[in-house]
Each structure stands twice: as C-alpha cells, then as structure tokens.
Amino acid sequence: MQMTNVPQAATLDDASSVSRSLALAFADDPAMCWLFPDPATRPAGLDGYFTTLFTRQYVRHGVCERTADAAALWMPPQAQDKAVPDAQTLGELTALVGDRAEPFRRSIDAAAANVPQEPHWYLAVIGTDPAAQGRGQGAALLRSGLAKADAEGLPVYLESSKETNLAVYRHFGFEVLEEVRLPEDGPALWVMRRGAGARG
C-alpha cells in the first residue's frame, strides 16, 4: 500500500527509508555541513549518522513517525534522560564524523548541559526529502507530535540550525529562546520553545 501524508509509526524495519529521507533533508544543513565538510562523503556520512540515531536511540526510547518522504524523531518527557546519546551511541557517531569528533563531543556536552528542567517533549529531528517538499508531509509530522504534547499539556523544545526554518516553526507557535554557536567556528543553533496549545 502506498504511503500518504498521514504519519505512521516508524519501526526498525523502516530504518533505511527514515535515514534516507533525513540524509537528503539535511544535505545542506549548516550543522551537518560542519560535521561532514566533504561534499563527496557527506551523503554516506549523513546516512550512517541518522541510521545510528534512529536505530540505537530514538526508535528504542522515543516516538518516531514517518510519511513517504519525511520523518520526525521525538523524545517524550518520560525518556528525557535518553535525549543525549549514551556512550556506545556517541562512540558510533564520533567514528562517523572522523576528525570532527572532538567538536562534536563538545557540542553534545553543551546540549546536555542546557536540557530544559521542565517536563517537555523534545523534537530532535524532522526532515523531508527536498524532492517531496511542499506536499505537507513535514507539516503533518510536526502537527502529529505537537498534538501529543498538547494532549499532555506540555511545551516542546527544539534546536534549529537552519535560519530559514525559523519562520516555519514560528508559524506553529515556537519562539526563539536563544542563539548559540557550535564550537570551533561552528554554525549557529536557535533554541526554540512552544508552550502547550500555542498557535503561531
């Protein structure tokens, strides 16, 4: 049966399609270009990166949904301690980024130190294959996760590394809390929060 824009739960069997959609979506993302600076090896690096995140972390502890060409990885409040990669996952990720391992570790440490203390949902990753953008798949996934947070009366946090996406998130009720810089002349990250039930 052909998939539609209706979000469906993503399982381990969906790992290849989820990682493919996310790798394509993040091919020009400033943070991913910083981690994988060589355009020739970036596609394979991104595929491995998102496969590792999905199979080792989010599909085990989070809420993962997909459409035909998009995916979203969330961490619910009861699993907030799993939002930061464990030692084995971090080891696999640092092996993938090669000589970017040390700045990558520092960025993970910084993120861990700034995890919000209030109960919340965390949108770790959302992306759509550029060839399918404009068809509403990403918006459907975002609405699905926001509805879960709203049902629990909880806020949602995310970090965006692409400035052009800020307007999209504002449309869904997010506000920028702060702008931070990744280490070693890395790109900016915008930390955003959406209150429960917020409308853009």
**What pLDDT is recorded for position 137?**
95
- Which amino acid is it at 9? A
Does some domain include residue 182? no
Does some domain include residue 56? yes
Does some domain include residue 60? yes
Does some domain include residue 103? yes
Does some domain include residue 187? no
Query: Tokens representing 120?
Result: 């919340």
CA distance 68 to 80: 28
Mean pLDDT of the chain: 92
Domain extent, residue 39, equals 8-154
Query: Tokens representing 125?
Result: 């990753």
- pLDDT tens digit sequence for 113-157: 777 889 999 999 999 999 998 899 999 999 999 999 999 999 999
CA distance 197 to 151: 9
**What pLDDT is recorded for position 40?**
96
Query: Residue 191's beta-bridge partner residues?
Result: 159, 178
Closest alpha carbon to 151 in 85, 89, 196, 193 = 196
Question: Looking at residues 84-96, what average pLDDT do you find?
Answer: 89
CATH of the domain at 103: 3.40.630.30
**What pLDDT is recorded for position 200?**
62
Does some domain include residue 193? no
Q: Quote the number of domains for the chain.
A: 1
Does some domain include residue 163? no
Does some domain include residue 39? yes
